[in-house]
Amino acid sequence: MNHLFSNALLTSLRTTSLLVGDLEQARSLDRELLGSLCLDTALKLDQKLGHLYEDALRILLLQSSQLELLDDHVQVFDADRVTIGEMDYILRDRNTGELIHLELAVKFYLAVREKGDWRFPGPDPRDNWQRKLARLCDHQLQLSQRHESLALIAKRWQTSCVNVRQLIYGCLFYPMGESECPIPEGVQPDCRKGRWFYESEWDTHFAEITQVRVIPKALWPVEITDELRTSLLTKSVADLRAASIQRCVMFILPDSSIPYFLVPNNWQREMR
């Protein structure tokens, strides 16, 4: 099962729709530059999702014939040795010689309408897309352009020029019962989409369903193929609803690949 899930995750890095396309601060990386898949790769799936995706992307960068991975998780300090930030990957284009600072993110947001306005919090309601976008544009994608970073880059790689690229994966979930929902600033219209609803609303939407297939967190960003769907753990609705009391749970129906988030009933209150 590990190889199946690992291959699906690596494939998704190359092919699945990005949550975010080109930004003014940084275009998305051309994924044709990533290396080919190694079918016997076994990723460590039981780690934080961000770390898992960093490991997976590192594999594809190391297998690239055009991109050379020079370093990753490069910390930048100010004059007092206080950390300013961390650059995810530093790459060199083997054909042009240019240096590339690449940032990676994997994010999920649930559209919420309140008094005619839309917000986009994450499964952890302390996170939201507007805050993440501001952080990306004002800090993470600007980090390699700071004089501290440029001095570090010049010392280590003998260049004063670095291009910034980003890869931002994820999914946008619309509330059940809403026929239309806006695309938030910066998000691609063709990004992956799903639906969300509260645990207490189960009978309103799926009263006839008794079993579902649960998507493990390692596969949250992955498009669910027929092969993957049949490999997922089948869980009773009672167990699913019990799990959703504490946290958002992602699942699909037995005969569908559309992802759903089942959300704790107090999730909305936690946003305030």
pLDDT tens by residue, 43-79: 899 999 999 999 999 999 999 999 999 999 999 998 8
Report how far apart, in Å, the C-alpha atoms of 265 and of each of 87, 173, 178, 200, 251 are: 37, 16, 18, 7, 17
- CA gap 150, 148 in Å, rounded: 6
In this structure, are residues 177 and 157 in contact, taking their beta carbons and an 8 Å threshold?
no
User: Could you tell me the residue range of the domain that residue 116 belongs to?
Assistant: 2-270
- What per-residue confidence (pLDDT) applies to 36? 83
In this structure, are residues 229 and 223 in contact, taking their beta carbons and an 8 Å threshold?
no
> Per-residue pLDDT for 211 more than 60?
yes
Strands 162-175, 27-28: pairing is parallel
For the chain, percent of residues with pLDDT exceeding 70: 98
Residue 54, token pair as written in the block? 């960093």
Q: How many CB atoms lie within 10 A of CB 92?
A: 17
In this structure, are residues 267 and 248 in contact, taking their beta carbons and an 8 Å threshold?
yes
> Cβ neighbours of residue 266 under 8 Å, at least 6 residues apart?
none
Instruction: Using pLDDT thresholds of 50, 70 and 90, give the confidence band for residue 270.
Output: low
Q: How many CB atoms lie within 10 A of CB 267?
A: 21
For the chain, percent of residues with pLDDT exceeding 90: 81
- CA gap 132, 169 in Å, rounded: 13
- CA gap 94, 117 in Å, rounded: 47
Domain count, the chain: 1
**Tell me: the pLDDT tens digits for 10-37?**
999 999 999 999 999 999 999 999 998 7
What is the pTM assigned to this prediction?
0.93
> Cβ neighbours of residue 207 under 8 Å, at least 6 residues apart?
none
